Amino acid sequence: MLDQVELAGILSALPDPVFILSRSGFYRAVFGGRDERYYHDGRGLVGLNLSDVLHETKASWFLQEIATALASARLHIVEYELSARDLRGLPQAGPDHVIWFEGRVQRLPFAVEGEDAVLWVASNMTERHELELRLRHMSQTDALTGLANRRHFNQMLDEELERSRRYGHPVSLLIFDVDYFKTINDRDGHGVGDHVLVQLSELVHAYCRESDVVARWGGEEFMILMPHTDLESACHVAEKIRAGVEGYRFVHARTLTLSLGVATWQAPHEPLQSFLVRLDKALYRAKEQGRNGVVCCVP
């Protein structure tokens, strides 16, 4: 059997910090946190309340998670962030960047200083979180232009149409491709063609709202999802994009024109495939009518 000194030594050697937190938010004990790459010495927190060291919103969140763990006999796992804006009343400055933690919270089978309490193990998972964000970004982004890729666009479109079914707001799509783009690749090479597509992406993105989703649909074809946008408004945006691109001088002073098609979803019962077919037909009519134009698909 371990004696108390040995047990205390083991607890203090834990790489991740372990907090004993009461129902009312008092730090009753702090162990571990010896991995100094990720943690400050937390022993000075003992006797303080969460509200002494955290701003109200964050302190309230911790109290709620403590209550949840106390109400359950099971291990309660949470992910959360902390940064300097969350902290107050501490002698040392908080982190100058967001740190992500995984909290493993377990109800203790006995009272601590007369109050229900939990054991809260905090593991710094910032590197893992940032890696997950990078991988997610890579899976959702077109490598050349930095726009959404087709897979991510389809996910966003499905979600937006579901919101439209629920709340009744209009949703429009705009599709366009570059007129005679193949001649640029054939004449000047794919490197120049890629540069043109990057410039075009940046230019078009500037005409869009933050809520719009601009995607590279494939090759020189692009798509824009415009929530809360009726057909008239979407066609107005399409014409601004067409005129802006026509008047822009791309790499090596090249000029481009676009053919654009616009359609608004016939909520709430139109199948997605029917919506996309109408949009494609509008694009092809723009090409048939001489290109460098906008065709709006009137239901």
Buried b (16+ CB within 10 A) or exposed e, 182-206: eebbeeeeeebbebbbbbbbeebee
**What pLDDT is stored for residue 95 in this prediction?**
59
**What pLDDT is stored for residue 221 in this prediction?**
96
**What pLDDT is stored for residue 253 in this prediction?**
67
Catalytic-role residue among 113, 220, 221, 270: 220
Return the SS3 of 45: helix
State the average pLDDT over residues 271-293: 96
Q: Is the pLDDT of residue 280 over 60?
A: yes
Enter the DSSP assignment of 74.
S
**What pLDDT is stored for residue 111 in this prediction?**
95
Q: Is the pLDDT of residue 132 over 60?
A: yes
- The residue with tokens 């666009």 is 153
Report residue 36's pLDDT band, with 50, 70 and 90 as the boundaries. low
Q: Is the pLDDT of residue 17 over 60?
A: yes
Enter the DSSP assignment of 1.
-
**What pLDDT is stored for residue 37 in this prediction?**
58
On whether the CB atoms of residues 102 and 78 are closer than 8 A, the answer is yes
**What pLDDT is stored for residue 97 in this prediction?**
75
Cα 113–Cα 119–Cα 125 angle in degrees, nearest 5:
145
Q: Is the pTM of this model over 0.75?
A: no
State the average pLDDT over residues 248-266: 91
State the average pLDDT over residues 11-20: 79
Q: Is the pLDDT of residue 299 over 80?
A: no
pLDDT digits (tens, 9 = 90+) for 163-178: 999 999 999 999 999 9
Does 113 qualify as catalytic in the annotation?
Answer: no
* Burial grade of 299 (CB within 10 A; 0-12, 13-18, 19 or more): exposed
Least confident of 2-16, 191-205, 229-243: 2-16
The residue ranges of every structural domain in the chain are: 4-132, 141-297
**What pLDDT is stored for residue 49 in this prediction?**
95
The CATH number of domain 141-297 is 3.30.70.270: yes
The CATH code of the domain at 4-132 is 3.30.450.20
pLDDT digits (tens, 9 = 90+) for 99-129: 899 999 999 999 999 999 999 999 998 888 7
Mean pLDDT of the chain: 89
Torsion of CA 153, 156, 157, 163, to 10 degrees: -170
